């Protein structure tokens, strides 16, 4: 055996001895490194708490409600149901070791019938048990008050729905963009504020389509909501709007701001008629510019949320 072979055999023997004798010392602090531990609480089907949640969940669950055509209020949105998520509820309560209804976790269950499934019909309000209202601001004039109204809405963190006349929009595109940039919803308010119940089908369609084209040209998006001027409409108007992919929106509470009431009279009128799901009609008038903040504060004091028509008419619960 030459010296090189002997060298390689000795080196190999040395490496084997080192490998056998080398042991990694366990880190006594490894279990305290919470970032390396799965924090999920194991779910035990036989746990008393688990059984209690399963037994009690039916007391808290709510079935979904379908959208419907109401005899008086016409097209009315449905509401999501609530189903207790047993596993997530268990994990939240396990730390306390007892049942606590405030720690229940729910999944929302959509209804089988939504607004989109119903035939054309006007919409006057949201779900009658939804603790939310929506401000509808119909715009065909009053551009001087728009910036101040937007500032008030921003200050109060409220999103409204502006239904904008096409003719006005074509002359005030910067204000239309400003409304959109503030996060408000924009709808169609016909082209030049006609009495749509007196127009032919072709004329009504032109009013809606022309305004949609103007708003889409300014915003890059076609509106999905239509408010007939002065609330004047008939079945044909609603049908044409639906054919253009739009829901027709009316209201349940009117500020009657065009009669130039005082701020106090306007606020009291609204608050006296306020209800869950209300849609509140207003315009960019002087009384709204002066009294909008007071109105919003009064609505909030009654524990109502305020949101756009789109949010009000969704089936989603808070």
* Domain positions in the chain: 48-117, 132-312
Confidence of residue 147 (pLDDT cuts 50, 70, 90): very high
The second-level CATH assignment, the architecture, of 132-312 is Alpha-Beta Barrel (3.20)
pLDDT at 318: 83
pLDDT at 266: 98
214: part of which helix (H) or strand (E)? helix 201-219
Rounded CA-CA distance 103/229 in Å is 47
Q: Identify the residue whose tokens are 């269950």.
A: 109
From the list 42, 57, 141, 55, the residue with the least C-alpha distance to 91 is 42
pLDDT at 294: 98
Confidence of residue 237 (pLDDT cuts 50, 70, 90): very high
Confidence of residue 209 (pLDDT cuts 50, 70, 90): very high
**96-130 confidence digits (pLDDT tens):** 899 999 999 999 999 999 999 999 999 999 999 99
**Do the strands 106-109 and 81-84 form a parallel or antiparallel pair, or are they unpaired?**
antiparallel
Burial class (CB in 10 A: 0-12, 13-18, 19+), 310: middle
Give the predicted TM-score (pTM) of the model: 0.84
């Amino acid at each position: 055996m030459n010296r090189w072979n002997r060298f390689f055999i000795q080196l190999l023997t040395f490496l084997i001895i080192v490998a056998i004798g080398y042991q990694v010392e366990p880190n006594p602090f490894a279990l305290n490194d919470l970032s390396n531990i799965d924090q999920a609480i194991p779910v035990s089907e036989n746990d008393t708490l688990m059984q209690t949640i399963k037994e009690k969940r039916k007391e808290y669950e709510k079935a979904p409600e379908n959208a419907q055509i109401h005899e008086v209020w016409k097209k009315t949105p449905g509401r999501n149901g609530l189903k207790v998520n047993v596993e997530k509820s268990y994990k939240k309560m396990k730390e306390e070791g007892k049942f606590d209804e405030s720690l229940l976790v729910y999944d929302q269950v959509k209804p089988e019938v939504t607004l989109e499934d119903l035939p054309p019909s006007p919409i006057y309000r949201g779900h009658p048990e939804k603790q939310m209202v929506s401000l509808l601001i119909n715009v065909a004039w009053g551009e001087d008050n728009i910036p101040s109204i937007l500032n008030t809405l921003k200050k109060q963190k409220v999103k409204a729905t502006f239904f904008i006349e096409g003719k006005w929009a074509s002359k005030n595109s910067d204000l239309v963009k400003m409304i959109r940039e503030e996060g408000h919803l924009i709808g169609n308010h016909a082209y030049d504020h006609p009495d749509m119940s007196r127009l032919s089908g072709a004329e009504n369609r032109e009013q809606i389509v022309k305004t949609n084209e103007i708003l889409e040209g300014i915003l890059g998006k076609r509106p999905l909501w239509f408010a007939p001027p002065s609330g004047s409409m008939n079945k044909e108007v609603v049908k044409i709007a639906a054919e253009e992919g739009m829901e027709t929106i009316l209201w349940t509470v009117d500020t009657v701001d065009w009669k130039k009431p005082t701020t106090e009279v306007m606020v009291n009128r609204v608050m006296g008629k306020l209800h869950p799901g209300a849609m509140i009609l207003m315009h960019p008038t002087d009384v709204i510019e002066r009294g909008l903040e007071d109105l919003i504060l009064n609505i909030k004091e009654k524990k109502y949320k305020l949101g756009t028509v789109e949010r009000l008419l969704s089936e989603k619960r808070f």
